[in-house]
Amino acid sequence: MSRRASPEALARQLLAATGYLDTYRSRPRLDLPSLLEHYDLEWYRRPFDDLSGALLRVGGVYRVVTNARHRLARQRFTAAHEFKHYLTDRHLSPGFACRRYVDNRLEREANVFARDLLMPAEVLGWLWGQGYHAPEQIGRALGVSAQAVDIRMAELEIGPEKALWG
């Protein structure tokens, strides 16, 4: 995986390398815990007041930590976001802490990566073609929030009036 690849390309490379793009029809939800484990990343859930998640290096081992007070769908997105920091940004800092309203290039790229990793365009299109039309339905299938699905569907112009998919 190239550190210089766009977040979209990086997510696509990972999905292809893991075989997900060949198997999503039988299991649409990406097995994120196994993917993190493959990269020797440990995933911890801890309650925080003002933190969504973090990437930390502890004793030579990287850990993704998500806020246990958040819903699992949000934690999955945060974990995927932190995974992007691990893949491409860990040389910049011994750790990253992600707060809800921080907006800079690295954070935006990590969000795009998480979006494309957990909600690839072809998977959303396939689910739409299978009759999954409500963001809540698609969110349950993919393990992400209905709000994230709604935003992604709008970006991809998937919807009843857009009949581009399926």
Which H/E stretch holds residue 16?
helix 7-18
Are 148 and 139 a contacting pair, CB within 8 Å? yes
User: Is residue 27 domain-shared with residue 74, that is, in the same domain?
Assistant: yes
Question: Looking at the structure, do residues 60 and 106 belong to the same domain, yes or no?
Answer: yes
What total of structural domains would you count in the chain? 2
Residue 99 forms part of a structural domain:
yes
Would 1 be classed as within a structural domain? no
78/33 Cα distance (integer angstroms):
12
pLDDT tens digit sequence for 40-62: 999 999 999 989 999 999 888 99
Give the CA diameter of the chain. Answer: 53
Beta bridge partners of 53: 66, 98
Same domain membership, residue 159 and residue 98: no
pTM given for the model: 0.91
> pLDDT tens per residue, the chain (166 residues)?
555 789 999 999 999 999 999 999 999 999 999 999 999 999 999 999 989 999 999 888 999 999 999 999 999 999 999 999 999 999 888 888 877 666 688 989 999 999 999 999 999 999 999 999 999 999 999 999 999 999 999 999 887 655 444 4
* Structural domain that includes position 163: 119-166
